[in-house]
Amino acid sequence: MIPGGTGAIGYAVAKRLLADNWTITSTGRNRAQFPLSLVKKGVRSEVVDRGDSRSLAKVLGSGADLLVDCVCYDAVGARMLLPHLVSISRTVMISSKAIYVDASGNHSNSGTPPSFACPN
């Protein structure tokens, strides 16, 4: 399962897993953005908004051997996965620099730039 599989990282992950004969379901918000080359090779595409817990539950309902989440950008997104982890064998979260926050809660996409303490 690859939530956010229509982007560059999801595409690369799907391509690599296909090479190892994995059965893949990729999700995205827009069916037109699913890479046709991967769909032709058997990648199942599901239209899912990663931020909608019901849609996520529908696609993760039966579990997965591997979840590579390319769009888990914050704690809210991570919490949405918690009820499903019992039925997922392995989980990989692709990190975004926006998940790293300073002491004031600012990250690289905040209106106020973050200020990280430097090691002494």
For residue 120, pLDDT beyond 60 = no
**Higher per-residue confidence, 95 vs 76:** 76
Q: What is the pLDDT of residue 99?
A: 67
Q: Are 11 and 38 in contact (CB under 8 A)?
A: yes
Per-chain mean pLDDT for the chain: 88
Report how far residue 107's alpha carbon sits from residue 14's, in angstroms, rounded to the nearest whole number. Answer: 29
DSSP 8-state code for residue 18: H
CATH of span 2-99:
3.40.50.720
Residue 85 vs residue 110, higher pLDDT: 85
Local confidence band at 43 (pLDDT 50, 70, 90 cut-offs): very high
The pTM score is 0.77
Residue pair 15/9 in contact (Cβ under 8 Å)? The answer is: no
3-state secondary structure of 78: helix
Which long-range contacts does 79-85 make (Cβ < 8 Å, 24+ apart)?
Answer: 80/50, 80/51, 80/53, 80/56, 81/56, 83/57, 84/56, 84/57, 84/60
Confidence of residue 94 (pLDDT cuts 50, 70, 90): confident
Q: Mean pLDDT lowest for which of 31-40, 82-91, 99-108?
A: 99-108
> Where does the pLDDT of residue 21 fall: very low under 50, low under 70, confident under 90, or very high at 90 and above?
very high
